[in-house]
Chain A
Amino acid sequence: MYEEILGNIRTKDEAEKLLDEIDLLMESLYKDHEGTFEETLNKKVRNWVKLEIEKLLDSKKDKKEILSKLKEEIDGLNYLKMNMAFEPTSAGIDRFFGFVKKNIGPNNALDISYDPSLLGGVQISYKGEYGDFSLRKRFDENYSRIEEKIDEILNDKRRKQIE
């Protein structure tokens, strides 16, 4: 019943935005003159949300019950946390989300955070499992080797200059 609407949630930020819209709708349920449910649905929520909610309300069930259940479903989403060195574009998020949907399954979304100190790559955690695939980690691991190499190059240059 809620698969379609949940399938549109790509990130945690989007989930939070949707929850705010549902809250607005739930508040409007008890308003009679200004800010009625219909008015809120038409003016204050995004169009795709409006269409999806209208579809849900077709089942003639209690509006409050449907919206509460939807909130519960959104709260129950699992997030793949991605700490990245850059802010991905919407197309990039689409690609990551497609990967998650294909490889992990439905009811999952992304929780993307930005940390430039990672230099590149990504730190991923999902249901407590953690993996650091950042450039910073690679750099830290190989720091002594890189340092030696740099020293070697510099020494070579100095030697050549003296000669």
Chain B
Amino acid sequence: MLKDFNHYLDEIGEVGYVEKVDRSIAYVTGLPEVKVGEVVLFETGEVGQVLALSREEVEVLLLTAIQVKVGEKVARTDKPLKVPVGDEILGKTLDPLGRELGSEVFVETKEKQIIDTESPGIAQRVPVTEPLETGVTLVDLVVPIGKGQRELVIGDRGTGKSRILMQMVLNQSRKGVVCIYAVIGRKLSDIRGTERFFSNKNIKENTVVVASRSSDPSGLIFQTPYTAMTYAEYFKDKGMDALVVLDDLTTHAKYYREISLLAKRFPGRSSYPGDIFYTHARLLERAGNFKKGSITCLPAAESIMGDLSGYIQTNLMAMTDGHVFLDIELFDQGRRPAVNPFLSVTRVGHQTQTPLQRDVSQTLSSFLVYYEKMKQFMHFGAEVGEKVKKVLNLGADLIVFFNQSPDVIIPININLLLLAGIWTEMWKGIEHEVMKQQMANLVSLYETNKDYKKQVDEFINQFSDFSSLIESMRQNDSIIRSNINVSKG
């Protein structure tokens, strides 16, 4: 997308010389009219972005991998960092500059958009009213997300953050939402794994992967989430709904810390620079529900030993509208997804739910608290009464119900129906494996048989509270029982 070095040198008539290079930062003299944020071009073809200016020197963040040498000429471009945008990017894996990953070729599009923009003001925003179905039972029922919400997904390393995020992308892209998945500073094998997941599930045409490898320059890795958000904004401006996943922002913060320390910025808490909150907040503020479209943002953050009080983690919690916490203890107990419903929060998700869903959510939350208390009580070896036994059995059934394979997505209405079935003790005395299989049969039937889907949807939509749904199921449970062993319609 950039023209030849000599072209800019002649056009702008300003030159700079590299005086010093400190890893990913080059110090340049000259370039009298250069501006902060402007892209500069080095004689040997490397690209950089102006980070700061002093009276004597220009601080340039290098965005390309090749080493810049002292004495090299630098030219201004008089342009901020832009990436090519258009429908042509769909289905591609791009680097943060808009080139196909691992190549020097830019995607050919008609338009280009600035990466670092101001977030839209309040006048352009509207309240979050529509739900964003994730296909993950526990999330949809207990911590629901709305379109335009920013929901942090937080958990220790290896607790399935990326898995749950990909599951959400799978469900949304099947519904026609454009999904942008940013993989920040990860191994190439992880990036290819994400790509493979999307192509195996046939959703590549609706997704864009913006990826930077851990071997890329810090400056390039730093730009990854901004590029992903720019792509989301392009689709939002077309009036579409976009989902952007930022995997993950703790890694992003670490790279920004590296850059800031190299640039001799004053270190703050945990050596992060003072503007780390601003750096993330100005990114996440670009998401939201707008008059024209929506950008739902799901940033990921890594916690250490289940500690949610880390600096970056608390910052991100403060700037998002809730978080889904993946608990290492639950993960070790074999729960998949390992979402901790007690420590997860959704600030705007409930307002997008139907009255029935809201009631189910509240009932489930309070029941799960009660179930946990009962379980703890049982540790003392107390004798089990009938009521307690019932609670424990229902709780155990619910845990099985919530267990879900990462490549399975379950629509909300069939979830509600299955939950009502569990609540009415339809699977009482039946082995959990059998119960899970029968549930899978019903989900499969719902997805493949239009008549059954219509029947379930109509049945669920007539209730506005959970108790009337349960009551109705107790009277007539044929909607489940007559189809329980049918695997496909």
Contact = CB atoms under 8 A, between A and B. Distances in A.
B30 interface: yes
Nearest to B74: A128
A123 to B, nearest CB: 9
A151 to B, nearest CB: 25
Nearest to B28: A128
Contacts of A127: 30, 32
Contacts of A131: 13
Contacts of A132: 6, 9-10
Interface in A112-163: 125, 127-132, 137
A137 B13 CA distance: 14
- Of A127, A130, A131, A137, most buried by chain B (CB within 10 Å of CB) is A130
A130 B13 contact: yes
- Of B9, B12, B32, most buried by chain A (CB within 10 Å of CB) is B9
A129 B13 CA distance: 6
Contacts of A129: 13-15, 32
B16 to A, nearest CB: 6
A126 to B, nearest CB: 9
Interface string B13-57: 111100000000000011111000000000000000000000000
Contacts of B29: 128
Interface residues of A, number: 8
Interface residues of B, number: 13
Contacts of A128: 14-16, 29-33
A65 B303 CA distance: 57
Interface string B406-426: 000000000000000000000
Contacts of B16: 128
- Of A127, A128, A131, most buried by chain B (CB within 10 Å of CB) is A128
B438 to A, nearest CB: 75
Nearest to B10: A132
A129 B10 CA distance: 10
A137 B32 contact: no
A73 B16 CA distance: 22
- Of B9, B10, B15, B29, most buried by chain A (CB within 10 Å of CB) is B15
Contacts of B33: 128
A137 B10 CA distance: 10
Interface string A71-106: 000000000000000000000000000000000000
Contacts of B31: 128
A129 B15 CA distance: 6
A144 B358 CA distance: 72
A137 B6 CA distance: 10
B10 A125 contact: no
A129 B33 CA distance: 9
Nearest to B32: A128
B29 to A, nearest CB: 8
A103 B289 CA distance: 61
B9 A130 contact: yes
A132 B13 CA distance: 8
Interface of A: 125, 127-132, 137
Given A129-B13, A129-B14, A130-B14, 18 more contacts: A127-B30, A127-B32, A128-B15, A128-B16, A128-B29, A128-B30, A128-B31, A128-B32, A128-B33, A129-B15, A129-B32, A130-B9, A130-B12, A130-B15, A131-B13, A132-B6, A132-B9, A132-B10
14 contacts: A125-B15, A127-B30, A127-B32, A128-B15, A128-B16, A128-B30, A128-B31, A128-B33, A129-B13, A130-B14, A130-B15, A132-B9, A132-B10, A137-B10
Nearest 9 Cβ contacts at the A-B interface: A128-B30, A130-B15, A128-B32, A125-B15, A128-B31, A130-B13, A128-B14, A130-B14, A130-B9
Interface of B: 6, 9-10, 12-16, 29-33
